[in-house]
Amino acid sequence: MRTSRFGQLLLVTGGTVGVAAVVGLVVGFEPAKLPAALLNIAVYKLTFAAAAALLAAGAIVRRYGQRTDSTAHDSRRGPLPSSSEKVLGEGNVADHLGSAATRRKESARRPLG
């Protein structure tokens, strides 16, 4: 399983646990009968903490997975040519851009006719 998918799974699981905790709190679900107020608060605090931890872990793993995927994608492309390397067999990019700009300037100075 790719790490970005694992991160996405953790995010979805954390969101689901958080929503379930909110629904349980709104509906009035009581996890225990004896000292109900104290146990309910404790259980909901633990549930919200677990949901937050799952969301954070999912975001971290997903970001790590995307960074790894983008690094692997960039390495497949190969290194970028340096400015001193020849591009298309004739000079470097700066030479091509410079000569094109010079030609445009010269053609603009020539009178029509």
Mean per-residue pLDDT, 50-58: 93
Identify the pLDDT of residue 70: 76
**Domain residue limits, the chain:** 3-78, 81-113
pLDDT digit string, tens, across residues 20-42 = 989 988 998 877 666 878 888 88
What's the pLDDT band for 53 if we cut at 50, 70, 90? very high
Identify the pLDDT of residue 23: 93
Mean per-residue pLDDT, 60-89: 67
What's the pLDDT band for 75 if we cut at 50, 70, 90? low
What average pLDDT does the structure give for the chain? 76
Using alpha carbons, select from 6, 40, 3 the residue that is nearest to residue 25: 40
pLDDT digit string, tens, across residues 96-106 = 555 555 666 66
